[in-house]
Amino acid sequence: MLWTLILALLVLLLLQSQLSVCLRELRSRGSSSSSSSSSSSYNATQLRLPGAIIIGVRKGGTRALLEMLNLHPDVEVAKDEVHYFNVEEHFRRGLSWYRAQMPLTLPGQLTVEKTPGYFASPQVPARVWDMNPAVRLLLIVRDPAERLVSDYTQVLHNRLTRHKPYRPLDQLLIKEGRVDPGYKALQRSLYHQHLARWLEVFPREQIHVVDGDALIRDPFPELREAERFLDLRPRISPENFYYNATKGFYCLLSAGRDKCLDESKGRPHAPLTRRAFGKLCRYFGEPNMRFFQMVGRSFSWC
């Protein structure tokens, strides 16, 4: 009986030893697999050239559109305007420099960059095509007269911040009783001229036009259309937006955290007489109609 008990005890000790060895092997394999998976995930995260670019327009709502698109889990955005295609110093640095300005993304995620200065720069369309003929382009537009006043307001603010004088808008815009076609802010609002250059390079279906005025009034419908254009899953919802009565525009809500655009957005416009604004609206009448024909839709502009 005693020998039987001793033998049974030895068998139990042997089994316990073998079980410990097996557990150690399993832990080692699990750790190795986890490390390999983590390493693989890390290696898959890369700086990628943009698959979509917001090309303009200046003071048209490009920052708002970028931040709203960034609500989507499959979108990563370049935080700053890169000005790669329209600034010669940057362009000479090559695509490796441009790629380095982009965010890290995983396979399947979309990199988006926005530089509103691209739209009105003649050399940019061909340069973008050379980078990627399949890139998707987003153009956000607003009432060109309102855009011009907003453009002037930003320049005026920057000048005053640096304690530099700047002429009133009426003096810059109106010469000898007529709208001055040489005023640069006005030229940036001639959307049809700039779009024509892009359509010489890219097919119309590769350029999605966003209504900037509608985006301010009710963001969700415009974002849903942008998702479709970019072949993104419909993940942005009305719950991602709430109206901030103090600021006077919509703010963003994601993962329980809210974000509003900076204080420069919604800045009161510089004064322009009603008479001068009326002349401006009449001046844009024909250019606006030409733009409507090019994009196949119309907008409620002055």
Strands across the sheet containing 249-254 = 241-244, 249-254, 257-259
251-279 per-position pLDDT tens digit: 999 887 888 876 556 678 889 999 999 99
Which pLDDT does position 247 carry in this prediction?
A: 79
Residue 232 near residue 111, CB atoms below 8 Å: no
* Residue type, position 143, single letter: D
In the Cβ-directed half-sphere of 87, how many Cα atoms lie within 13 Å? 12
Residue 235 CA to residue 276 CA, distance in Å, equals 44
Residue 61 CA to residue 67 CA, distance in Å, equals 10
Task: Go through 38-66 and write b for each residue having 16 or more CB atoms within 10 A of its CB, e for each that does not.
Answer: eeeeeeeeeebebbbbbbbbbbbbbbbbb
Residues of the chain with pLDDT under 70: 1-43, 262-266
Residue 145 near residue 301, CB atoms below 8 Å: yes
Which pLDDT does position 249 carry in this prediction?
A: 85
* Residue type, position 200, single letter: E
**What would the 3-class secondary structure string for 213-226 be?**
HHHHHCHHHHHHHH
Q: What is the dihedral of CA 78, 84, 87, 93, to 10 degrees?
A: 130
Residue 268 CA to residue 251 CA, distance in Å, equals 18
Phi first, then psi, for residue 61 (nearest 5°) are 110, 25
* Residue type, position 64, single letter: A
Which pLDDT does position 43 carry in this prediction?
A: 58
Q: H or E segment at 26?
A: helix 2-44
Which pLDDT does position 34 carry in this prediction?
A: 40
Which pLDDT does position 81 carry in this prediction?
A: 98
Which pLDDT does position 124 carry in this prediction?
A: 98
Residue 290 CA to residue 293 CA, distance in Å, equals 5
Alpha helices, DSSP H only, in 72-183? 88-91, 94-100, 124-131, 144-161, 169-173
Pairing of strands 207-211, 241-244: unpaired
Phi first, then psi, for residue 244 (nearest 5°) are -100, 105
